[in-house]
Amino acid sequence: MQVQTTSADGLIIIDPMVFKDNRGYFYESYNKIQFSNLGIYEEFVQDNESESQQNVLRGLHFQIPPHGQTKLVRVITGAVKDIVLDLRKTSPTFGKHFSFELSEENKLMLLIPEGFAHGFVTLRDNTIFSYKCSRPYNPTSERIIKWDDEDININWGIKNPIVSDKDKNGVSFKSFISPF
């Protein structure tokens, strides 16, 4: 397993060791001891999974303290353009977003620390997206930044995404007062 750091502190790309043969492939998507050896000590308490058709956009979601979440995300089937937005006021990358392609082929995982908003757009039909969370979902702590906010200017790579009403009604980045 290899770890790649990014310019945002704590935002890590994990490239697992994949064993392939004529039967298919095998890899450990999570191993607490191996992650600890890499300096990742997060305890995960909830697993989530979604399936979406192509061009579905989910995000930008996060939970505020005391229910903030660290997430370990990956694609099981299909592909996504994954976006994270740094909401940590003291971070040198505050207000900046980062983009990654996660797919069933590259098997990359992304460790997203508490204090980031997260979203993705599916690049293929029947994309299955999986994420581990460090805290359970708490509906009263959930917040959403508008996916199409002009101030953060994210290029999602598609023209007419399929977006839920909840995500359409997110707040602007400018109006959000970060508790992180």
Q: Which residues are catalytic?
A: 61, 131
Q: Cα–Cα distances in Å, from 23 out to 19, 20, 26, 46?
A: 10, 8, 9, 30
Amino acid in position 131: Y
Burial readout 100-132 (b: 16 or more C-beta within 10 A, e: otherwise): bebbeeebbbbbbbbbbbbbbbbbbeebebbbb
Read off φ and ψ for residue 148, nearest 5 degrees.
-110, 25
